[in-house]
Structure 1
C-alpha cells in the first residue's frame, strides 16, 4: 500500500469556470471581462490555498482528518483522487497494467484511464475523477467557508458485486505445491502479497527463504503463521525472488536482500464477510486459516466434494491450514457441498497443494464454514527496496506479545543512535486492536529517560481502522548527525484493550533466537514515568526509517 499519508480529494469547479468561459448568446447580458478575470483569480487563489494548507475531507459528514488524506489539485483546479483513497474510501478496485492503463471498477461501473491521464506524485498514483464521481456512487457538497468537502454516498454503499473472481482479472500468480512440508502459512502469505501488485507487476517470491530465514527457531516442517510472515517482511529480511532461493532443495541463502519492503498489513480479528470481500476487491488476496480435515495429497473427506471442488466444515477443531481467499460467489449452490449448509454462497480460495487438487488448485468454501475468515490478513502497502536507506529496529521477531498498564492508552519509545548523517523520514508500529488512534513524537537529543518528557516534538498522528502493522510518514523531516542519540515515541489509544503495546518477547522454543540486549525501549502510562522494556524481558515493536544525506 502505498503511503499512510496519501491524498485525495475531488472538487467540482468545471461548472464555475464554464460560467465565465462560455460563449455569449444573443439577447443575453454580457459579463464584463474584469468580472471574469476576478472570478478566475478567486478560483486560482482558492486552489493555491488548498495546495498550501490542505482541506478537510468528509464522508457522509464524518471528517477523515485523522486518517491523513490530502488533496491533489493543480493550478488549473483539475483535481485527482489517489489510488489509495479510491480503494479505502470509495470502495473501488484499481487494476494497473504494464502499459500504464488504469481500470477502475465499482459494482457494475468500469472506468478506463490512459497513462497520460494519470499523474504520479512522490510514488503515489492520482486519477482524475471530477467528471465521473457520480458514476462511482457519490454526490459532492463543497463548503468554501469552512474549507470542507463532503462526499455523500448515494447508493447505500453497495459497491460489491454478487460474484468476483481475481482469476478473471489477471490478479493472481500460479498455484504452487508445498509438498509434505509445513509451509502452507508461507505460501498463503506470499500468495496474498504477490496479488497486490498485479496485473501491473508479477513477482514470485521465495517460500524457502521466508520459512528458513525468519528469525524463529523453526524448520520447514514445523509450520508457522501470519505474525511470522509480517515480522520477516517488516524487518527487511524478505521477500526475495523464488528464482534466487528455490523451494524444497534444502538449501537457503541468508545473504539475499529483500526485493520489496512491507509497509502495511491489516489484521481483521473478527468475522465480517463484507469486509473480507471489500479487501479482496480493493487490495488483493486475503490470507486466512481453515480446518482442513484432509491431509496433503488426499481428496477423501466427508466435508469435501471432489466433483464440485467444494468444502464445508462445521465441526469444532482448531485451524490447521492456511489458504488465500481470492473471490466469492453469493449464489454458489449449497447443493454442491458434500455436507450441505443452510444457504448458498462460497469463497473462492487458492490452495498450495498443486493444480491437480480442486479446480486447478482452487476450491470453493462455504460462507458457513466455521473457521474461514475468523482471522483475515491483507497486505495493503508494499514498496520498492529503495523506499528508505536505513532501518532501525530491535524487534526482529515482531509482534509476539503485548504489554500495558490495564488501560486502553499507553506510551512507548525506542532509542537509537544515528549511524551517519541522516534524515528521519518515517516510523512503524503495530496497532494491537481496531480503531487505534496514535501520535508520534521525536526527541532529537536523548540523554536519559527524562528526555522523553521534556524534549519531545510531535511529528505525526492518525487513526487505524484495523489491527495490524503500519508505517507512518512523518509530517516533517528530522535531521540527524552521525552518533546522535534520538528517541521515537508513540502514544496510542486502543479501545477495549488493557495491553495496547506490541512487544517482542520469549515465547518458548520457537523464539529461542530472541535478543533482548539489542534495544533500549521504554513504556509509560501517561508519558511521564517511564519503565525500561528490557527489564520486563521485552523489546518494543517500534521501528525508525531514515535516508542518508
Structure 2
C-alpha cells in the first residue's frame, strides 16, 4: 500500500510540474547548433575506426592505436582572435615558462599498449593544478573504462564502435582502444564517476567492474576551454591573442589537455632537439599536455622550418624514453594543435547528492528560438529523495564572458508562477572563460523529502547564438542518452516555456545540482548575488554519496 501511495504522489507531482509549465507553454522553435565539422565530416564508424584502427608510429618504430577522437561539439566560433579577450597582455608573459621547474607536474606515464592517450592527458591535467600542495596519481584505467561501460550507478555509456575489418583481440582492447575526447572525460568526472587513485585501479590491472565501489577522491568543479586558432587564421599571421589565453591558463591552472597530429617522421620530428612541427591538413589524433613555452626556441631546431621561432613545451604519455624524459617541443605554428582544457578539481574525499539528467554531458548547443538569440533560458526539474540542502549548481558556458542568472523554485505544489514558489533568487555573474562551471549558492537551500524543485538558468553568450548546453542522443557518440517529459524546459523570454522533449526526443539540458543530506537551518536566500565555485561547499558535502539520474 505504501508503495502505491508513493507512486501516486510521484505521478501527481509530475503532473503538477507539467501543468505549471503548460500554463506558460509556447510553440517552441529551439534550434540546435551545427556539428563540429571534423566530427560531421565522416560517418561515426569511420571516425571510430580512425581512432581505433589507425596506428601512430612512435619515433622508435612501435605502433599505438590513435586515441583522440573528434567531439561533436562545435566551438569553432571561439577559435578566432576577435572572440578571445586575453586575461593578460603579451608583455606580461615571460619569454620562457616551464611547469617542470615549478614542481607542478606529476611523473610522466606510459599508455602502452592502448589508445588511451585522451584519458592520460585528462588525468595529467587534473593532477597538475593541485600541485605542489597535493600530490595525486589518478587512475586512467578507471576513466577509460566507465566512459564506455554502463556504470553501476546506472549511468549510460558512450557509444562503442565496432568494425568487422578491425576485430578487437580481447575485451580490454575493445574498451581501451575506443579513443576519446576531453568532453567525454569532463562528462564522466562531472557526474561523479571518479577520479579514483591509481593504487586502487592500476593501469592494465583488474577491470574496474571488479571494484565498482571505489570512492572518488575529488570532484570536478570546472573544466575551462582554451581555444586554439582555426586553421584558416594562419593565413593572417600568428594569432597572439589566443596564444596568450593559453599561456595565461598554463600559468594559472597548470597543464592543459590538448590534441595534435602525431605523425612522427623525418619531415616532422627532429630526434636530436626533440622538436615536432606538422604543417598539414589532418586533424588531431593524439592527446597530450601543454606544460609551458619557449618564445625563443629556434625555428632551425625543427625538421622542417616553420615560419618563426617559438614552441610549446609538451608532455607525452609514452614513458620517459620518449623525447626529453617524456617531453618535447611543438612549434607555435603547428597546424594540427587542438584546443585545450584545464581541469580544476576540489575537495578530498568529496561525497554528496548530485541531481542530474545529463550523464553524457555537453553534446550540442541550442538556441531557444528560431531567431537564434545570444540569450536563452533553460530549466531542469528534480525531486528530493530525502531531506537535503542544495548548495551549488553547475552548467556549461559556450562563450567568453558568458552572463548567467540562476533561480531555484519549489514546484511541488503546482504554483502558478515562479514568484510564488521561490526558494533562491537572482544568483548572477559573468564567466570569464567558456567550459564547465560550478556556482555556489550564496545561501544553502533546504528542501524536504519529496519536494520537486526546478533550477532555471538564463544564459547570454556574447557573439554566439546557441547559448544552451544540451545532452541528446547522437549516432555512434551518445546513442544511450535518454530523457523523459517533464525534466527539461526552455524559453526565449523566461516566461513561456517548452518541454525540451517536444522538440528533441531524449534530450536534456546540462544542469546539475549539488546537495548534502539533511536540511540546513540557514533556509533559503533572496536578492541578487554573484557566485562562483567555493571549496568550502565541497568540504561540507555529506559522507553518503548518491549518484542517480533524478
Global fold match (TM > 0.5): yes
CA offsets, 1:186-233, max 9 Å, x none? 110111111110111111111111011023133210100000011111
Tell me the SS of whatever aligns to 2:224.
Answer: strand
Question: What is the Cα deviation at residue 464 of structure 1?
Answer: 0.9
Counterpart-to-counterpart distance in 2, 1:498 and 1:403:
8
User: 1:405-416 residue pairs with structure 2 within 5 A?
Assistant: 405=369, 406-416=372-382
Task: Tell me whether 1:521 sits opposite 2:488 in the alignment.
Answer: yes
Q: Which has the higher helix share?
A: 2
Aligned equivalent of 2:430, options 463, 469, 479: 463
Question: What is the Cα deviation at residue 435 of structure 1?
Answer: 1.4
Task: Determine the structure 2 residue equivalent to 1:54.
Answer: none
Question: What is the Cα deviation at residue 515 of structure 1?
Answer: 2.4
Question: What is the Cα deviation at residue 249 of structure 1?
Answer: 3.2
Task: Determine the structure 2 residue equivalent to 1:396.
Answer: 359
Counterpart-to-counterpart distance in 1, 2:380 and 2:321:
49
Task: Determine the structure 2 residue equivalent to 1:261.
Answer: 219
Counterpart-to-counterpart distance in 2, 1:428 and 1:332:
40
TM-score (normalizing by structure 1): 0.68
* Conserved 8 A contact 2:121-2:289: yes
Counterpart-to-counterpart distance in 2, 1:157 and 1:491:
34
Task: Determine the structure 1 residue equivalent to 2:290.
Answer: 325
* Conserved 8 A contact 1:165-1:326: yes
Unaligned 5+ runs, structure 1: 1-154, 295-299
Counterpart-to-counterpart distance in 1, 2:227 and 2:199:
34
Counterpart-to-counterpart distance in 2, 1:196 and 1:443:
35
Change (3 A) 1:259 1:448: same
Task: Determine the structure 2 residue equivalent to 1:165.
Answer: 98
TM-score (normalizing by structure 2): 0.68
Tell me the SS of whatever aligns to 2:394.
Answer: strand
Change (3 A) 1:410 1:454: farther
CA offsets, 1:38-61, max 9 Å, x none? xxxxxxxxxxxxxxxxxxxxxxxx
* Conserved 8 A contact 2:397-2:437: yes
* Conserved 8 A contact 2:276-2:331: yes
User: 1:101-500 residue pairs with structure 2 within 5 A?
Assistant: 158-214=91-147, 215-218=157-160, 219-249=175-205, 251-252=207-208, 253-271=211-229, 272-294=242-264, 300-372=265-337, 374-386=338-350, 389-404=352-367, 405=369, 406-447=372-413, 450-452=416-418, 455-456=421-422, 457-500=424-467
Question: What is the Cα deviation at residue 282 of structure 1?
Answer: 1.4
Tell me the SS of whatever aligns to 1:288.
Answer: strand
Question: What is the Cα deviation at residue 291 of structure 1?
Answer: 1.1
* Conserved 8 A contact 2:376-2:492: yes
Q: With a CA cutoff of 8 Å and minimum separation of 6, indicate the structure with the bigger relative contact order.
A: 2
Question: What is the Cα deviation at residue 496 of structure 1?
Answer: 2.3
* Conserved 8 A contact 2:225-2:339: yes
Tell me the SS of whatever aligns to 1:209.
Answer: helix
Most deviating of 216-225 and 246-255: 246-255
What is the aligned length? 388
* Conserved 8 A contact 1:262-1:383: no
Q: Which has the higher strand share?
A: 1
Counterpart-to-counterpart distance in 1, 2:426 and 2:453:
14
Task: Determine the structure 2 residue equivalent to 1:143.
Answer: none
Counterpart-to-counterpart distance in 2, 1:444 and 1:395:
21
Counterpart-to-counterpart distance in 2, 1:161 and 1:415:
48
Change (3 A) 1:509 1:449: farther
CA offsets, 1:230-285, max 9 Å, x none? 11111000111111112123612333232100101111234311111111111100
Counterpart-to-counterpart distance in 1, 2:91 and 2:318:
35
Task: Determine the structure 2 residue equivalent to 1:28.
Answer: none
Aligned equivalent of 1:544, options 513, 517, 520: 513
CA offsets, 1:84-130, max 9 Å, x none? xxxxxxxxxxxxxxxxxxxxxxxxxxxxxxxxxxxxxxxxxxxxxxx
Unaligned 5+ runs, structure 2: 1-87, 148-156, 161-174, 230-241, 519-550
User: 1:76-95 residue pairs with structure 2 within 5 A?
Assistant: none
Task: Determine the structure 2 residue equivalent to 1:139.
Answer: none
Counterpart-to-counterpart distance in 2, 1:156 and 1:517:
47
* Conserved 8 A contact 2:275-2:329: yes
CA offsets, 1:148-184, max 9 Å, x none? xxxxxxx977332111111111111111111131211
Change (3 A) 1:157 1:333: closer
Counterpart-to-counterpart distance in 1, 2:345 and 2:143:
18
Moved over 4 A (4+): 447-454
Bigger radius of gyration, 1 or 2?
1
Change (3 A) 1:293 1:157: closer
